[in-house]
Structure 1
Amino acid sequence: MTAITITLVLLASVVASSIVARLMARRLPLPLPFVQIALGGLLASLFDVHIGFEPEVFLLLFIAPLLYLDGWRIPSEGLLGDKWTICALAFGLVLFTVAGAGYFIHWIIPAVPLTVAFALAAVLSPTDAVALSAIAARTPIPRRLLHILEGEALLNDASGLVCMRFAVVATLTGTFSFVDASATFLWLACAGAAAGVAVAVLANAGKDWISRRYGEEPGSQILISLLIPFTAYLLATQISASGILAAVAAGIAMNYEERTGNALPVTRIRRAAVWDAIQFAANGAIFVLLGYQLPAIVEGAEHVVREAGHQGGLWLPVYVLAINTVLLLLRAIWVWITLRLFLFGPARAERKARKPGWRLTMITALAGVRGALTLSGIMTLPLALADGTPFPARDLAIFLAAGVIIASLIVANLGLPALLRGLELPPDISRHREEDAARVAAAQAAIDAIERSLRAPPATQMEADLQMQAGARLIEQYRRRIDARSPNEADPDFARRSDEIERRLRLIGLAAERNEYYRFARNGKLHGDLTNLLVREIDLLESRFTRN
């Protein structure tokens, strides 16, 4: 099967999995990754075709752009506001997991050498924010907790892969130096982050200069945004730094670049649509590939299980469940300590019980699902040692990693909705106040700009009258927005209820407008190109008032 055919089959499988998940939503609601894994396994059983899995290519083509997009879209305030909590989870928890889970894996499966067990534990330590969002799409995860989990998932990828790299080197050479490992880690992290930021800054500076000089072309702007994560990853790998962290850093730099507002609105709209499609396709392809690889992974793992002294493959799920349980316990312990130190610690002076409850601890622990990076990382294990002998327990390690991915998804899918059900979240008053203040300031700025424009002498008296009428209508709209957002002690939720009612009525009106345009087109009263233009205008307006 050629590469083009494989790509088309993967994309068609992603589309099919989405349709199947929607058809099953009412009777058996399953997260989309489950359906995609099952579909991949079905394809493997129906077609005796080998799909090559090159981990380095996989990291470049799938993981780098996805992490770049996560870094781009995560709120920077969420990263900075809880930076100590995120760092404790992204780095401290990784080391805690490598040590605890590594010794446990070696103890429960003696056939797995200790260094290989450490490598497996290291690749199991990173969490996957995308898999979490797929599971928790229908559950009210607190915003602050979601930002912490997203920040952790962005940063622990690099730390987990670095730890795995050290464990693999120790397996190949039989030696380990803490000093060398620390120096290597600093270089991988610092140089990787610097490479990502440099690529993003230079690319944006270049495109902004071209746009100012020759005008902006949305297609080229979108293409530049697509090239940035791959360039950052490749540059980092060329200097022996972390390509994963380079992609994340480039995404975070793009987050700040976005705030300059240099891009045209049409560019931002089209670019967001392109990246949404890429994110959907890449995530789906990853889980379909995981399902496709499972039969071969299970077959290879059974041989190692027999070497460990057990007959048959019944011990494989036992190993997976045991490892997943230990990972969950280790994470719960570290989460409880971290939340107590960094989230509840500053509030101890209030003379109230400020300890993380078991419910919040378990929600945070269960949210640590494993995903695509774990699979791609474990597949990078060498095939042989330096003397040519097979790498010990490689097939079993790959199976255990794949099994833990699926088990963590199942546990989170079952546990999170139950823990989050009925969870009363206090309203984010500070966020509402920030929104109100920003909307009032923006409306006042618009009024000032319109009034300045109205002072310019018009060409004719008719133009002056029309200009005054149009300006008065717009200024009145902005003044109503200011009045609605002004403090109202009698009803603090007045603005939000008013916005909701206005949003609903606007959507009804826009839908009616669009249907009428289509009716005119069907009756031959409106040209096709004009129909497309008017409908696109309605779609853009509707996207403003539609909540995804």
Structure 2
Amino acid sequence: MSNAFYFNLILLFLVAIIALEVLAKKLRWPPAVAQLIGGALIAFIPGLPAFEIDPALVLEVFLPPLLMAGAYYTVWHEFRRHLVAILLLAIGAVLFTTLVVGLALHSLTPALPWAACFALGAIVSPPDAIAAKAVLQRVALPRKLLVLLEGESLLNDATGLVLYKFSIVAVLTGVFSVGGALESFVWLSVGGMLLGAAFGYLVYKTIRYLHDTELMILASALPGWLCYVVGEHIGVSGVIATVTYGMMLGWHQHEIMTATARRRGTAFWEILIFVFESLVFILIGLSLRGVWERIAHADKSIADYGLEVLLVLAVVIASRFVWVFTVDGLVNLFRRQAAATHGHSSWRESFVKSWAGMRGVVTLAAALAVPAEVPGRDLMLLCAFAVILVTVLFQGTTIGWVIRLLQLKATAHERTYLNEPQTWARIEQAQYAVVQQLAYDAQGQLLHPRLLEQYGYRQSLSDKHKNEAVLPDDIRKAHFNVVLAAVAAGREELLKLHRAGEIHDALMHVMERDLDIQEIAALHSRG
């Protein structure tokens, strides 16, 4: 097929994303579910060739920006507070699932080598960051539970991919060393963190000197890919390098980026992540045809693999429940000693944590990358796809219902933070203090009376209401409704001047931008 054909195919995917997003909202499905089904239907369009996915390319293109976006918005204080619990999921649960799947599969099919069984376990063990984000952003959860699941999704891909690589090497060479594996895992993790930190430090020191907004956005986004590519090239974890860089950028972006770069950068990332997340699930659906055709030409039919597939599915789901409930139970038993790092978990939280184990692109890419000479490759492909379909279509569509059934609700942050009125009181006190100093010249003559009056009014109003839970709606809404009405009147007059040919297009866009900023600020402040 020509390059033009593939370009047209990408255009088809983008149109499909819009249609499937609308359909998902109509049916109240998670968009990931509609996109996966849509991709599968596209794959079987008559005349369309089987779509071959390069697993290494998929990981390099899609995984870094999606990981970085998740890391960028990670709340560092909460992540650090729950780091032990996150690692128990991101490392412990993945190791446990790999082990249990390997043992169960070998007991059913003793002819399959141990290493191949554990390779399949490693393929299906890590819940997917993209699938988790796509589902979790549409549900309301207790804050601690959300931090644990989002933190797990950032780190568990590294564990699964490391286990997968060691298992495949063991299958092909027949050699496996536990000590060597642990040593390599530590190096991959620490090396990844150091690499990500190095990129983060470099960006922190240089980006403030890029006075062009577009260059700032590009210079902050590009290292997300570079961390992953360089990390994989030099033999450390590209996943951990990317996550480390994303967390550093998210922490320091308030200091090093201009307000314009932040606003435009946010818009850029929102569109990019939306398109990439959607394309990932469409590509997963598209790969169904290739997997189907491979299995159809294999020595065994799909029906012959039924028992093994059902066993792997059951073990993958059940093992997460066993691990989560066991760990949470032990922590609750000794919660006095462990409360500082893990905290108390109710059985309802443990159930939702266990249910939120959707698999996705990493599982698919790992399965597709299995060398042809590895025993049981067809079984690995079929099991990987079955696990993705069941966890995304079943668990992904029902997690909201499970949360409502268990009556779990979103909670506030665990530590005591200043509320909105208290924060505004501190900000506007600082602003008023500066305006008081700059409102007079060296001789003490008042130069900016309106600014002094404006900031003095803001400071007195916020100080008056600083001990209330929220700013009074009647005062705030009335004030910003007037501001919005003034903006609307200004926009109407600007359009009249432009339509009458009295102002140039360039000035029209500049003035419109200023009115847009005023409107956005007023809408945000009004609530």
TM-score, normalising length from structure 1? 0.85
- The answer for the alignment partner of 1:244 in structure 2 is 239
The structure 1 residue matched to 2:325, chosen from 326, 330, 336, is 336
1:377 to 359, 366, 391: 366
| Residue equivalent to 2:250 | 255
2:315 match:
326
Residue 452 of structure 1 is matched in structure 2 by 437
After TM superposition, give the deviation of residue 158 of structure 1 in Å. Answer: 0.6
Distance (Å, rounded) in 1 between the aligned partners of 2:44 and 2:410: 46
| Whole-Å separation in 1 of the counterparts to 2:467 and 2:367 | 55
C-alpha distance in structure 2 between counterparts of 1:45 and 1:449, whole Å: 66
State whether structure 2 residue 467 is matched by structure 1 residue 487. Answer: yes
Counterparts of 1:319 and 1:501, CA distance in 2: 65
The percentage of aligned residue pairs carrying the same residue is 26
Deviation at 1:450, TM superposition (A): 1.0
Equivalent of residue 259 in structure 2, options 234, 258, 265: 265
Q: Provide the C-alpha distance between the structure 1 equivalents of 2:482 and 2:136, rounded to a whole number of angstroms.
A: 29
CA distance in 1, matches of 2:479, 2:16: 37
- Is 1:96 the equivalent of 2:96? yes
How far residue 110 of structure 1 moved from its aligned partner, in angstroms, is 5.1
Kindly report which structure 2 residues correspond to 1:418-497, keeping only aligned pairs within 5 A, or say none: 418-421=401-404, 422-428=407-413, 430=415, 433=418, 435-457=420-442, 464=446, 467-484=448-465, 486-488=466-468, 492-493=469-470
Q: How does 1:259-408 map to 2 (within 5 A)?
A: 259=254, 261-302=255-296, 307=300, 312-314=301-303, 319-341=308-330, 345-346=334-335, 356-384=345-373, 391-408=374-391
Q: What residue is the counterpart of 2:513 in the other structure?
A: 536
Structure 1 residues 511, 80: CA separation in 2 closer, same or farther (over 3 Å shift)?
farther
Name the TM-score, length of structure 2 as normaliser: 0.88
Deviations 1:226-283 (A, max 9, x none): 2202221232223211112211111122122224x22111111111111222212221
Q: Specify whether residues 371 and 527 from structure 1 end up closer, same or farther in structure 2 by C-alpha distance, changes over 3 A only.
A: same
Per-residue deviation, 1:108: 4.0
Residues 155-186 of structure 1: per-residue CA shift (max 9 Å, x gap) = 11111100111110110011211111111111
C-alpha separation between the residues in 2 aligned to 1:11 and 1:284? 13
Alpha-carbon distance in structure 1 between the residues aligned to 2:155 and 2:13:
30
Q: Distance in 2 between matches of 1:510 and 1:108?
A: 70
SS in 2 for 1:241: coil
Task: Give me the whole-angstrom Cα distance separating, in 2, the residues matched to 1:517 and 1:111.
Answer: 78
Could you tell me which runs of 5 or more consecutive residues in structure 1 were left unpaired when the two chains were aligned.
385-390
- Equivalences for residues 403-414 of structure 1 within 5 A: 403-414=386-397
CA distance in 2 between counterparts of 1:349 and 1:237 reads 36
CA distance in 2, matches of 1:314, 1:154: 36
TM superposition shift of 1:349:
11
Give the aligned residue type for 2:467.
P
**Aligned pairs (5 A) from 1:135-284:** 135-208=135-208, 210-211=209-210, 216-259=211-254, 261-284=255-278
1:504 deviation in Å?
A: 7.5
Question: How well do the aligned residues superpose, as a CA RMSD in angstroms?
Answer: 3.2
Q: What's the CA shift for 1:319?
A: 4.8
* Counterpart for residue 387 of structure 1: none
Do the aligned partners of residues 498 and 49 (structure 1) sit closer, same or farther apart at CA in structure 2, a change above 3 Å counting? farther
Match among 400, 405, 417 for residue 400 of structure 2: 417
CA–CA distance in structure 2, aligned partners of residues 382 and 50 of structure 1: 20
Q: Is the 8 A contact 1:199 1:250 kept in 2?
A: yes
CA distance in 2, matches of 1:94, 1:452: 59
CA distance in 1, matches of 2:483, 2:357: 40
CA distance in 2, matches of 1:176, 1:9: 43
Deviates more, 1:273-282 or 1:493-502: 493-502
Q: In 1, Cα distance between the equivalents of 2:22 and 2:116?
A: 40
Distance 2:481 2:412 in 1: 22
| Cα separation, 1, equivalents of 2:483 and 2:141 | 29
| Counterparts of 1:498 and 1:411, CA distance in 2 | 47
Structure 2 gap ranges (5+): none
Checking the alignment, whether the CA contact within 8 Å between 1:366 and 1:416 is kept in structure 2 is yes
Partners of 2:309 and 2:30 lie apart in 1 by 20
What is the alpha-carbon distance in structure 2 between the residues aligned to residue 108 and residue 509 of structure 1?
73
CA distance in 1, matches of 2:362, 2:502: 54
Matches of 1:266 and 1:380, distance apart in 2: 42
More displaced stretch, 284-293 vs 501-510:
501-510
The corresponding residue for 2:49 is 49
Stretch deviating more after TM superposition (138-147 or 127-136): 127-136
Distance (whole Å) between structure 2 residues aligned to residue 252 and residue 32 of structure 1: 26
